Structure 1
Amino acid sequence: MTSSIFPLFLFVAVATVTPGGATTLATASGARFGFARSIPLMLGIAMGLAVLAAVAALGLGKLLLAMPALQTIVKALGSAYLLWLAWRIARSGAPNAGSGPARPVSLVNGILLLWLNPKSWAMTVAAAASFALLSSSPNRLAMLLGASFGLAACASLALWCALGVVLAGLFRTPRHWRIFNFAMGALLAVSVIPTWR
């Protein structure tokens, strides 16, 4: 069974480390608030992804695939939320400049963000469908997918947040921050496009 689990781990690692809405938010939060204050956001996203993967393994993925209207609703809500966050990030200035979010995203909002992120739904439903034969029962598959996605998300988000912290050390002027925040907002907005293809 260990040899057959490697493709799952590879899929999960690549899916969580590639740029998207969650990684962009982790980078922006690390730059703006530092690593320690970004931990609730990262934990919320990782917990949300773990639960979503488990729920997909238990059958929600099949329901979404069977109901295109529900897929469209999830995509629309998720896209609207991500675009709103992108707008807020793009408008924010330097830390302590009085503009933009005054505090980092909370654990609960991190979970909600993840559940409204269309990329997360696509990743977890694809994993549940592709790796269903790794386990003899849906409950075991749910535990395997939940643990895999949760741990991989923690590692990936920590890397992206650390990158944000490093980048913050390079910004010396409010103009630098405006450029960075605009770039992060634009990347977050662009991350919505693949979900509508």
Structure 2
Amino acid sequence: MILALLMFLLPLAYSPGPGNLYFAAAGAQVGARATVAASVGYHLATWGVTLAIGLGSLATLAQQPAIFAAVKLLGGGYILWIAWRFARSSRLRHRNTATDVRFVDGVVLLLFNPKAYVIIALMFSQFLDPARLPAVGAGHIGQVLLITTVFTLNNLLAFTVWTLAGDRLARVFSSPAQARWLNTGFAVTLAGVGLWMLLD
């Protein structure tokens, strides 16, 4: 099951999305090491939300269009705000400052990403044994914990790859003019993702 789950998650985890692009941009702006707090926040939130969905605690979210729409608006708005932060950076920040890459950024990025909820629900619908769904027993909880942990660790690996790629780009394009273009490029890309989240 784990191999099949990883095959299912591969294109989802490594393709461009709000989380990947944020960490690539953050890696470019402050360096990979300075993104650790945000990554911890994102992946702790990922583990908690995934576990809650797997155990049915967030099932009402999918049944309440108004809640889902509010999450989508908050998520799109938050991504646009992050894009604005990168756009107004005239140069890459010094590598040992991480004032704009915080634990809370990672948490909020996950909580306000409605696509994450859809992917998680889809994942459980494919890989959670339907025979164990009616009763939340030890076997069911064990399955949910396994899927939740594999999903979170796979995301962590993917985001680390994107963060390191952003860090590497910043080291290659290190002049002030190149840094401005790099920040602008990340900002425009993030803004496109934010608009897509709002309009989809």
Shorter-chain TM-score bucket reads 0.7 to 0.9
Identity of aligned residues (%): 27
Give the AA of the match of 1:108: V
Using structure 1 for the length normalisation, give the TM-score: 0.86
What are the superposed Cα offsets for residues 27-84 of structure 1, whole Å, 9 maximum, x if unpaired? 1111111121111112221222122211111224531221111111111111111111
Q: CA deviation at 1:140?
A: 2.7
- The answer to which of 177-186 and 138-147 deviates more is 138-147
Map of 1:54 onto structure 2: 51
**For residue 68 of structure 1, what is the aligned residue in structure 2?**
65
Match of 2:151 in 1: 149
Distance 1:80 1:52 in 2: 21
Contact kept? 1:54, 1:141, Cα under 8 Å: no
Written as runs of structure 1 = structure 2, the 5 A alignment for 1:16-27 is 16-27=13-24
Moved more, 102-111 or 17-26: 102-111
Mapped contact 2:92–2:183 kept (Cα < 8 A): no
2-structure distance, mates of 1:188, 1:26: 11
* Contact preservation (8 Å) 2:34, 2:101: no
**Does the 8 Å CA contact 1:22/1:114 hold for their aligned counterparts?**
yes
> Separation in 2 of the partners of 1:109 and 1:102?
12
Q: After alignment, is 52-61 or 157-166 more displaced?
A: 52-61
TM-aligned CA distance change 1:195 to 1:133, over 3 Å: farther
Structure 1 counterpart of 2:34: 37
Structure-2 residue corresponding to 1:173: 175
Q: Is the 8 A contact 1:29 1:161 kept in 2?
A: yes
Q: Is the 8 A contact 1:82 1:117 kept in 2?
A: no
For the aligned residues, what is the CA RMSD?
A: 2.2
> Among residues 112, 115, 137, which one is paired with 1:116 in the alignment?
112
Output the amino acid matched with 2:76.
S
Distance change >3 Å, CA 171–CA 147, structure 1 → 2: same
Structure 2 runs not aligned, ≥5 long = none
Distance 1:7 1:146 in 2: 14
Quote the residue 1:127 is aligned against.
123
TM-score, scaled relative to structure 2: 0.84
Find the aligned partners of 2:48 and 2:116 in 1 and give their Cα distance. Answer: 11
Q: Secondary structure at the match of 2:91?
A: coil
Moved more, 122-131 or 34-43: 122-131
Gaps of 5+ in 1: none
